[in-house]
Structure 1
Amino acid sequence: MKDQVIITNNPRVKKEFQDLKIDFVNNLSDVYSKSRNLVHQNWKLVSHPLAGSVKPAQNPYRSIILAPSNKLDFYSLNTIENAIQKLNQFSKNHKKREYSQKIKDDYQVIDLTLINSALKN
C-alpha cells in the first residue's frame, strides 16, 4: 500500500483508513476527475472506478485507489474515461436524489466494503 492513494468523498473511508494516504474531495464528480488527473500524471488504477453493482450516479460515494507508475497507463486512462462517461450519462438521465442519512450511511458502507476488498488483493 506504500505510495498508493485513495481518492474518496466517503467520510467512512477517510475515518477507517487514517493510516493511509487519503485525498478527500467534496463530491462524486471530484473523485472521478481527481483520479483522471492523477492517471494523466502517470498514476494507475488499483481499484476499478465502477466496482460493485450500484450505478455511478446512484451511489453518492466512491473511493478509488491509485498507485504511481513510471509511464502513462493506457488501460487506466481508458477505464477512468469510460467511468466518467458513464457517470455523466447516468447523471443526465436521472434526476439528482436527496437521500436520508440512513440511506447515505448504507451507501457509505457499500463503498467502504468495496475498498476493503480491493485493499486485500
Structure 2
Amino acid sequence: MSDWRASREAVELARLGVSELLANVAKHTASRRCGLRLVRVGADVVVQVFDESKQLPVVRTPDWCSEDGRGLWLLREMADGFGYMPIPLVTDTSYRLGKVVWFSCWGALPEAGAA
C-alpha cells in the first residue's frame, strides 16, 4: 500500500485488519493455509483473506469484560466496508467450499493520474 501512496491511516487499518484476519485463520480453522490479496479499485483498497474453512465468521457485540471476541467487531466498525462469503476452492483433484473475509478502505489512495 505504501507503493500505492496510501494514507497513513489506511496503512494502519490494513495492518490491524490483516493481523486480525490471519489470527482468526490460525485460531479457528483446521488448515492454516490461506491467501491474502489487496485489490486497488480507483482510490479504494479492498483487503481479502481466503481460507479453507467453510465456517463463516460470527460478528457480535463484544463482551467488554472478555479477553477476546472483539476483533472482527472493531474491524467492521473501523473499515469502510466489511463482509464475508463462501467461495469455491478448486485444485487439480478436488472441489470444496472455503471462504473469503474482506474489508475496504475508501479513498485511501490518490486518484489515478494525481501527482
TM-score (norm 1): 0.24
Q: Quick check: which has more Rg, 1 or 2? A: 2
Bigger fraction of residues in strand: 2
Bigger fraction of residues in helix: 1
